[in-house]
Structure formats: structure tokens, C-alpha cells
Amino acid sequence: MGTAGALVYCTRRLQASRSGSGLALARGNAIQCKQEARSDARRDSLVAAARNPELEQQIIAAPDDVQAYLVYGDWLQARGDPRGALIAAQHALLDDPESPPLRETERLLIEEHARELGGPTLDVEPAPQMRWQLGFWRALRCGSFGWSAKPWHDEHVQALLEHDSARFVRELAADGLFTGAVLATVGDKHQTLRSLDVALRAGEQFDDDSLAPLRACTRLRRLALFSCDAVTDRGMQVLRALDELEQIDLRNHPLSDAGVACLSAAPLQEVFFNELARGFSSAGMAGLARLPLRKLDLSCGPSIGDEHLRQLAGHATIDDLALPGAGFGEQGARALATLALARLYVPSSAIGDAGVAQLPRCLRSVDLGHCRLSDAACAALACMADLEQLRLDGSAGVTGGGVRQLAALGRLRTLCLGFCELDDQDIEPLGDLESIETLGLAFNNLTEASVDMLARMPRLHTLDLASCALSEDAIDRLARSASLRYVGLYSCPSEAIARAEGVDGWSVYRRDTLELMD
């Protein structure tokens, strides 16, 4: 019995075990499958990889059609190609993903036929990560953010994409010491590639010429490129061919009005740019407003003003808007009031109390960190009955009166009030917020007098008390909380930190303030 036969045998015996033969029989079948498959592994590994262009085109045309893979799998098995057995095994796993015999068969096939199925041997760190789909790699991740002793280079990605298992790859994420030419390695995958995410490091940049191979990738739905500083409007012309593109993130590319025009043919739902070209005008924003956007992130600082936001007024689909550091005020906020926003991310912006009063009441998540707001803003926010996440860090104008108004938000799960100069009496109203799960109170004027109130909050699992004057006794009292799991104690007394690190079930953060909102 060959590898494919062993798989069929294993599957049949698994079905028998379900009908009452018992778990022991299923385990025995897995062992027998392993032995039989290994006995034929040497013979199978000598079989050259079979190819059928006609059947491959059927998969390319309909990459989610399971039947197309099964037909190809039968054809491969008839020719002794172990990939056919892998297709059958992974198809069976779709119906029973937790089956130990099937998982063992899948693992065994890939292990014993590593050359044909598992990919080339590469001297890199970290090793590539693959997600399989019916005998082939659906998604590949190459490299990772951060330093590596054995970083990824262009040739490593090329070797991986040239492997037979990458024949129908749909998602590629790569982060390493690449050059802009790395995009040329995806050229042969233009018929199947749907998502491309590439980050260059060590000062390398994409330029107009390096984007040229993307012109053939007309089925791309997501494109994210890090280090696009040298891409000009000429390079952006390539994007006109990507008429299925739904998400774009061109990090460090200075978006211009002409660049926006290059996006007009795509059904873009998510757009991210962190730089704007000098002279980016309301006409450019109007071009973005004509897209079927759901999420717009222009992390471009004060160059976004009221006139830009007026172009978004009445947009039918935007529900997630990020404009950190933007220079808009009350008039721009009035335009936002016409949107059905669920999330608004505008930290360090010029929105002001009057602008907050104009925001739509349907918001569920609002980041107003370091916007220098006062209790007047809290009064407006208290009218947002659906609010679940709120950041007001760095607003010294917020007092106990403002906190008392926020305590009326019965659905609030995350509240960040760091750097607001609040004292123990100011935060007392928070004890009535039974919905709170995450609370940031870093760098306020708090003492251990607030600890008992915090320990009684029934759902609180994450608490940042950085720079709070806590004693060991205060930690013991805080530990009475039945729900608390993550505690930030940066810049707190060392004795308190040591006591907290001994509390069973706690994770203590002592080197920085906690990141509390998405």
C-alpha cells in the first residue's frame, strides 16, 4: 500500500472508529498509516513532480473551488505524486480538523516528502511560515520586524516562490533586508496573488521602477509597502491597473492629488497614508471621498484641516477614521457629524472642546489623547450612549466634574485618563462604572487611598497606575480584586513592584506605561 493508499485506509478506519470501534483503534490506525507511508516514502520521493497546465488553470480561475483541487489531486495520485495524497488529506481535514489520524497523515506526508512539499532549505531566521490550502501554500510569511542574525534577502523570497508548493500562493508578507527589486519575484504569481505586504529595511526604498512588476498583478486586493519615500506620481500610475484593490498602505509615500487620481478605478475600502505631498488640496480629499471607503487613515499631522474634512461630509460608508495630529477644528468636526462613525482616532489634534461637541453620537471608540480638553468635552462625550472605548490622556483641564459625567457611560469598557492631574477624590465616580475592563490612570496625583475602590470594580482586568505612590499594603488590598490580571506599575516604589510580582495570576509591567487601546 502506497502513501495515498495508506491515507485512504486511515480515513476509512477513522470512519469505522466513529461508528463505535473506539479511540484505541483510531490511534492504532494512525500508527499503521505512519509505518506504511514511510515504507513507500523513498520510492515516492523519486517521482518527478507532475504538472497539468489545464487543471492548474481551472484552479487559477476559481481558487476557492474545492472540486478543482480534488480533480487535480486525483490526477496527481494516479501518477504517484505525493501532493495528490496531501490534497486528499487536507480535504478530509476540512470536515474533521481535529482528527489525530488525519493530522498525523498530513504531518507525515510533509515530513517524508520535504523536498517536494515542504520547500527549499534556506539559511534564514526566522524560518518561513506557510498556511496550506489543499496541497499548496495559500499564504507565506517571510522574515519579521526586528534584527535577525540571518536576515531575509531577495533571493530567499525568489527561491520560495519558485517552489511547486507556491504554485497558487495568494498571500505574501515579507520583511527583511530586501531591495526594491524584490517585487520582481512576484511577477510569476500575478494570476493568483491577492495580498502583498513587503517591508524594506536598512535604508532601502521602493521607487517608480520597482513598482512596475505590480502592473501584472491585477487580482491584488490588498497592497502594503513599507518605505515608499522615492515613489512619485509616475510610479503611482501602476496602480491604475489594479482594479480589484480593496486595501492600500503605501508607507512614507507623499500622497498628492495626482496620486489619488491613480486610485480612482479601484473599489478601495481601506486607505492608509502617513505623508501628504506639499499642496495636497481639498480636491485630493474629494477624490478619496468618491471611493467606497470604510476605513481612512491619514496619519499626516496638521496638514489635514477643516477644508479637507468638509469633502468627507455625508460619506455613506466610512465608519473608521484616523487623523492623528490633524489641524481641523469645530468646522471639520461638524463635517464628521454627518458620518456614521464607529471609531475616531484623532490624538494630538486641534479639535478642542467645541469640536468634540460636534461629533456624531454613534461613536463606539474615540481617541482624544493629548487634545487639551476640559470638562466641557466630557459633557459632550457623556451623550454618546454606545461609547465603549475612550482615551483622554493628557487633558489637564478634565477634573472630577468631568469624570463624574463620564461615569454615566454604562457601556464603557476602556477608559484612559493618564496625565490628567487627577487626585483620589476626582476618580471616585469611576467606582460606579461596573462595565470598565481596562483603566488607565498613569501619572496622576493618586495615592493608595483609591486602591479599595479599584479592587471592587467587578470587571477590571487591566489597570495602569504608573507613578502612583503605592505601598506593599496597597498592593495586598488591590490583590483582593477577583478580576485583575494586568497591572502597570512603571515608576512606582520598588517595594510595591516586588510585592505585585508575587501576586498569583498577575502580569506586572514595570518598564513603561501600558498600551491600553487598539
Quick check: pTM over 0.85?
yes
Q: Residue 368's pLDDT is what? A: 98
Instruction: State the cell numbers at 39.
Output: 515504507
What letter would DSSP give residue 390? Answer: E
Q: Residue 40's pLDDT is what? A: 47
The region, left, alpha or beta by phi > 0 then psi within -120 to 50, assigned to residue 314 is left
* Rounded distance between C-alpha atoms, residue 222 and residue 97, angstroms: 28
- Please state the φ and ψ torsions of residue 138, each to the nearest 5 degrees: -85, -40
Q: Interior CA angle at 254 toward 248 and 259, to 5°?
A: 60
Q: Does the pLDDT value for residue 21 go beyond 80?
A: no
* Rounded distance between C-alpha atoms, residue 36 and residue 1, angstroms: 7
Residue 56 and residue 167 in contact, taking contact as beta carbons nearer than 8 Å: yes
Q: Residue 48's pLDDT is what? A: 56
Q: Residue 145's pLDDT is what? A: 80
Residue 446 and residue 423 in contact, taking contact as beta carbons nearer than 8 Å: yes
Write the pLDDT tens digit of every residue in 28-75. 444 444 444 444 444 444 445 789 999 999 999 999 999 999 999 999
Assign 381 to helix, strand or coil.
Answer: helix
Look-up: residue for cell 494630538? 348
Query: What's the rounded mean pLDDT across residues 282-309?
Result: 97
Cα end-to-end span (Å), the chain: 54
Residues of the chain with pLDDT > 90, as a percent, come to 86
Write the pLDDT tens digit of every residue in 329-356. 999 999 999 999 999 999 999 999 999 9
Of 498 and 12, more confident: 498
Mean pLDDT (the chain) is 91
Assign 452 to helix, strand or coil.
Answer: helix
pLDDT bin (cut points 50, 70, 90) of residue 518 is confident
**CB within 8 Å of 266: residues ≥ 6 apart:** 239, 242, 243, 244, 245, 246, 248, 291
* Rounded distance between C-alpha atoms, residue 179 and residue 461, angstroms: 44
Write down how long the chain is.
518
Least confident residue range of 2-11, 416-425, 465-474: 2-11
- Please state the φ and ψ torsions of residue 465, each to the nearest 5 degrees: -120, 35
CA distances from 235 to 82, 182, 238 (A): 43, 16, 6
Residue 160 and residue 119 in contact, taking contact as beta carbons nearer than 8 Å: yes
Instruction: State the cell numbers at 106.
Output: 498530513
pLDDT bin (cut points 50, 70, 90) of residue 151 is very high
Assign 192 to helix, strand or coil.
Answer: coil
Q: Does the pLDDT value for residue 15 go beyond 80?
A: no
Q: Does the pLDDT value for residue 159 go beyond 90?
A: yes
Q: Does the pLDDT value for residue 5 go beyond 70?
A: no
Query: What's the rounded mean pLDDT across residues 95-122?
Result: 95
**CB within 8 Å of 44: residues ≥ 6 apart:** 2, 3, 80, 82, 112, 113
- Please state the φ and ψ torsions of residue 349, each to the nearest 5 degrees: -95, 175
Instruction: State the cell numbers at 440.
Output: 488607565
Q: Catalogue all structural domains in the chain, each as residue range(s) with its CATH number.
A: 3-118 (no CATH), 364-518 (3.80.10.10)
**Going along 65-163, which residue ranges are E strands?**
129-133, 136-143
